[in-house]
Amino acid sequence: MPTPLTSRDDGLIGKLTVAVAVWVVALAPASGRSWGASAARRSAVVEAVEKVHRSVVSISSEKKAASHSRWPFSPEENQRPRVSGMGSGVVIDGRGYVLTNHHVVDKVQGITVQLFDGTTLPARLLQFDPIMDLAILKLDPPRPLAAIELGSSSDLMVGETVLTIGNAFGYENTVSSGIISALHRDVTLSDDQVYRNLIQTDACINPGNSGGPLINIDGELIGINVAVRAGAQGIGFALPIDEVKRVATELLSTRRLAATWHGVIPAEQHRGLKRSVVIAEVEPGSPAEAAGLRPGDELVRVGALPIAHALDLERGLIDVRPGRPANVTVRRGGTETALSLDVRALSQSAAGAPEDQIWRLLGLRTIPVPTEYVATVSPKLRGGLYIQAVLPGSPAAEAAIQKGDILLGMKVGSRHWETIRPDNILYVLRQPETAQTHSALLYLVRQNEVQPLRISLGGSLSQPILSR
């Protein structure tokens, strides 16, 4: 049966269903689709679907049925039947990178992806983020795939037309239309899984649609379908694309996939209909600084790949290796300039990734979360750092920090700092006041309340704390 979700929207308690959670013994057979229409019948909806449909995939997987046995080698465990699951995904890079929900591929054995033309390919789980419920799959396609065009969720309008395409109940490439019913919905699945800031739509989202696209009438991806309210009609939810892009950029980062470092911190800018990516920061001592990249530069291309989103920077550098510089074209003062960027192996970096340093120094694995995750505490907060893991025996463990806490800020002496990026923690640890006090007060969100916890930094400060 579907997994229930509990929503606190408008003070009502309701049940929702993760759209992929229906597990079936067999999926419907795959079949092709013929997409054609006369000029008189060609509506904006038809054109949007034709623009997107080749970028949508159907996902099938297997896992063993549930068992109550506590002994992994018992006869009951070994005889458990295999059941099949279904979901959807979108191609975000023509080399075979597919974005879907984490719950579609969580704890499964064997993943198969069916392309629009009926071709089936094995896939492997490459990266995932269970908090945002996103995952990246990797295929090895025989030819380049059509990548979906990314839109923005910053300008969505209640009432505007949206479309879903996906593997609904195993009927691959099913199209549905509707409107945006509401924005900024919060849905609680469990203490460990809370969906924030969701798009609500009455376009049909069924079991099997999870991980598939919610698109606007221009054929742009504006959300990833994630859940539907059980027992209701026309109440489905999607993750907004701006938050999806932020997480996908991290999952596809060269640091994670290629163990290389470039040192560019990009930011997306929207000015009316014009979207661009500019360099917000260049990390000191980085390959980007050596290449002559500067804050304020507009990123135009990496190699032949146009840069429309921050994700494109990582896509363009995934296959670049140290010693083989990439051509990065920037617009500076209205003039395009080509620069040679030679990425560096993380092992050759003086500091290593901030996340790795924080794990080494404090025993914390963190991931940035946006304002919506902490808005219930204060609307003035700009975000925080979600605690993904705590190392046993570390300063964080001794301070009773728990997985699921959100770190809002740190106080040393009389000074306060917010923590919305891992770099912020390292900055605090490098301050003279921190070296003098050997401890810090951490402000954490736990069960929608702020809790101060003091962490000892004596041993941490004896280790090198470096910046990149």
- Domain check: are 265 and 193 in the same one? no
pLDDT more than 70, % of the chain = 82
Mean pLDDT value across residues 119-145: 93
Mean pLDDT, range 16-42, rounded to an integer: 52
CB under 8 A, 24+ apart: contacts of 299-308: 299/264, 299/266, 299/328, 299/329, 299/330, 300/329, 300/330, 300/331, 300/336, 301/327, 301/328, 301/329, 302/326, 302/327, 302/328, 302/329, 303/327, 307/277, 308/150, 308/275, 308/277
Q: Are 241 and 322 members of one domain?
A: no
What's the pLDDT score for residue 431? 78
**pLDDT value of position 147:** 97
Same domain, 288 and 188: no
Confidence band of 420 (pLDDT split at 50, 70, 90): confident
Cβ atoms 153, 242 nearer than 8 A: yes
Q: Answer yes or no: is pLDDT of 1 > 50.
A: no
Is-contact 255 343, C-beta < 8 A?
no
Considering the domain architecture, whether residues 11 and 156 belong to the same structural domain is answered as: yes
Confidence at residue 187, expressed as pLDDT on a 0 to 100 scale = 86
User: Is 57 within the bounds of a domain?
Assistant: yes
Mean pLDDT of 320-345: 95
Residue 29 is predicted with a pLDDT of 42
Residues 404 and 455 both lie in one domain:
yes
Q: What is the pLDDT of residue 351?
A: 53
- Pair (112, 222) in one structural domain: yes
In a domain, 426, yes or no: yes
Give the per-residue pLDDT at 349: 55
CA dihedral 67, 68, 72, 75 (to 10 degrees): -80
- Report the CATH number at residue 279: 2.30.42.10
Is a pLDDT exceeding 70 seen at residue 6? no
Among 315, 348, 381, residue at a domain's last position: 348
The residue from 348, 378, 412 where one domain ends is: 348
Q: Are residues 414 and 280 in the same domain?
A: no
Residue 3 has pLDDT above 70, yes or no: no
Where in the sequence numbering do the catalytic residues fall? 103, 133, 210
For residues 113 and 26, which has the higher predicted lDDT (pLDDT)?
113
- Is residue 109 very low, low, confident or very high in pLDDT (cuts 50, 70, 90)? confident
Distance in angstroms (rounded) separating the CA atoms of residues 434 and 455:
11
Within a domain: 273 = yes
- The DSSP 8-state label assigned to residue 150 in this structure reads B
Domain-embedded: residue 468: no
**467: in domain:** no
pLDDT digits (tens, 9 = 90+) for 142-166: 999 999 999 999 999 999 999 999 9
**Together in a domain, 240 and 281:** no
Based on the domain organization, do 140 and 189 belong to the same domain? yes
Reply yes or no on whether the pLDDT at 14 is more than 90: no
pLDDT, residue 61, reads 85
Q: Would you state the pLDDT for residue 39?
A: 77
Of 196, 230, 252, which residue is a domain's last? 252
**CATH code assigned at 191:** 2.40.10.120
Indicate if 129 and 145 belong to the same structural domain: yes
Helix (H, G, I), strand (E, B) or coil at 4: strand
What pLDDT score does 81 carry? 47
In this structure, the answer to whether residues 291 and 240 fall within a common structural domain is: no
What percent of the chain is modeled with pLDDT above 90? 51
User: What number is the average pLDDT over the span 174-201?
Assistant: 88
Distance CA 410, CA 452 (A): 9
8 found inside a domain: yes
The rounded distance, in Å, linking the Cα atoms of 439 and 246 is 32
In a domain, residue 85? The reply is yes
Highest mean pLDDT among 13-27, 263-277, 394-408: 394-408
Residue with structure tokens 């800031």?
Answer: 197
Domain that residue 220 falls in: 1-33+41-252
pLDDT, one tens digit per residue, over 70-106 is 444 445 545 444 556 799 999 999 999 999 999 999 8
Of the spans 235-249, 388-402, 409-423, which averages the highest pLDDT? 235-249
pLDDT tens readout for residues 197-226 = 999 999 999 999 999 999 999 999 999 999
* Tens digit of each residue's pLDDT (9 = 90 or more) over 421-449: 888 898 888 877 787 788 899 999 988 88
Q: Could you tell me if 108 and 248 lie in one domain?
A: yes
Domain membership of residue 466 (yes or no) is no
Q: How many domains does the chain have?
A: 3
Q: Which of 86, 65, 253 is nearest to 167 (CA)?
A: 86
Query: Is pLDDT above 70 for 246?
Result: yes
Average pLDDT over residues 390-402: 89
